[in-house]
Structure 1
Amino acid sequence: MSSQIALPLVTARGAETVVMGPCLVPVIEALQSAATWPFRTAILVGPPRSGKSLLARWFAESGAGEVLDSADSLPEDEIFHKWNRAQASGRPLLLVSDRAPGDWTITLPDLASRLGSALLIEIGAPDDELMAGLIVEHSARRGLVLGEQAIAYLLPRVERTHAEIELLIETLDRLSLERKSPVTISLVRDALAERTGEFQPRLL
């Protein structure tokens, strides 16, 4: 089972929980090594709900460098200015986006070449350890208790994305409240079926 840690994830909001798994270790190590980034710049990329903004907030508030969140939606001249300032000051710059730079719409050739030289830090699909931890974490936030059998049933069946795990637990919570039932394998099966579009309403 994955561990829930505050890393040193202490921000202005206090200690914030991040669920860890082996797939996140390279991401954390890269963020902790900003002094070695090429041109003092890195781009943190990952799918929605994968913890990018939390990690970026910790990075900024720990004093490790400056952050531009949702960088792909910012004006190009703003990114260019921040990149130049990072070179002049030696202060690392972390750009955060759902998409890799190759998928951004960039009209300035010089900016495209600079982003291409930055370190790309990617948050990939969660591994089994991280998935189990996310299931436990999202369930705990809703006051749901999932036994090991229910988690073992879910792991090979739920879509391997951070967002889908969160939505599945939301569905499971709703079904549990509607039926006034604890979390059983039957309930888990129905929640999975509803999320995949195969839900068949029970006949009364």
Structure 2
Amino acid sequence: MAQQLTFDLPTKTARGRGDFFISGCNKLAVKMLEDWPNWPNLKLVLVGPKSAGKSHLAHVWANDIEANISQAKHLASADIPNLSQTPTVIENVAEIATDMAAQKSLFHLHNLMQTSGIPLLLTADLPPARWGLSLPDLQSRMSATTITTLPAPDDALLAAVLLKLFNDRQIDVQPKLVSYLVKRMDRSLEFAADLVSNLDNAALSQGCAINQKLAAQVLDNTFENTA
């Protein structure tokens, strides 16, 4: 008989957001954000793959210290002097690699916040050295910024998230089914949400319980739809 995976499920949640689970894969990034008063120059870049939880963690941090949150692509039209007065999160900075107006706005924001000693958190899928920003002064300042990495979710985190997603829909599932899903699913929190939604819809449409046979079918379909 195949041995089922067992999980040491995370029990702690990040401050300010009760559904953010902390596990081995993200605890260092969480600790780094909690220690924001000691960031070098009070700025940090949070780097990680898509759907690893960067935005969620950034929102937890923002909620904790009452920070503003802005997408980098919207900076060209933002009130930079006003934005610079409080802690700020700028998300998806690499997206402005070809947007000179947004880069100039970020450069201005960065300098104002550095002068005032106000913390700045930036997020991206890749480290600053690979952003390819066309404004040299901004690229050099971003490349000199401390980086913390949020890896793809590990098994414990995926299991905890799946269980919460099922619970949110008032669906009881067996631990062995969660083990089955975790071993076969994409390492993505977005995929986990799609998977649970698709399982729920399939069970309702077929009038059956969520079991391994249904899970195998839905996994194949979910992979096809996200390819």
> What TM-score, normalized by structure 1, do the two folds share?
0.84
2:175 aligned with 1:175:
no
> Among 70, 79, 93, which residue is 1:71 paired with?
93
> Among 150, 154, 164, which residue is 2:191 paired with?
164
Q: Which residue identity is paired with 2:54? A: K
> Among 165, 171, 174, which residue is 1:144 paired with?
171
Runs of 4+ that moved beyond 6 A: none
Given that 1:2 and 1:20 are in contact with CA atoms closer than 8 Å, whether structure 2 keeps it comes out as no
> Could you say which residue in structure 2 is the equivalent of 1:54?
56
Aligned partners of 2:145 and 2:158: how far apart in 1?
29
2:67 aligned with 1:45:
no
Aligned partners of 2:90 and 2:174: how far apart in 1?
40
Please give the root-mean-square deviation of Cα atoms over the aligned residues, in Å: 2.2
Counterpart secondary structure, 1:62: helix
Given that 1:7 and 1:18 are in contact with CA atoms closer than 8 Å, whether structure 2 keeps it comes out as yes
Given that 1:3 and 1:19 are in contact with CA atoms closer than 8 Å, whether structure 2 keeps it comes out as yes
> Could you say which residue in structure 1 is the equivalent of 2:159?
132
Closer/same/farther in 2, CA of residues 48 and 141 from structure 1, 3 Å limit: farther
Counterpart secondary structure, 1:95: strand
Q: Deviations over 1:32-89 (max 9, x none)?
A: 1222222221111233333322322232232273212233345111211222123211
The gaps in structure 2 that reach 5 residues or longer are 1-7, 68-86, 97-101
Counterpart secondary structure, 2:26: helix
> Could you say which residue in structure 2 is the equivalent of 1:188?
215
- Taking only the aligned residue pairs, the percentage that are identical comes to 27
The gaps in structure 1 that reach 5 residues or longer are 10-14, 198-204
Counterpart secondary structure, 1:125: coil
> What TM-score, normalized by structure 2, do the two folds share?
0.76
Given that 2:13 and 2:22 are in contact with CA atoms closer than 8 Å, whether structure 1 keeps it comes out as no
Given that 2:159 and 2:182 are in contact with CA atoms closer than 8 Å, whether structure 1 keeps it comes out as yes
Aligned partners of 1:196 and 1:67: how far apart in 2?
32
Aligned length: 193
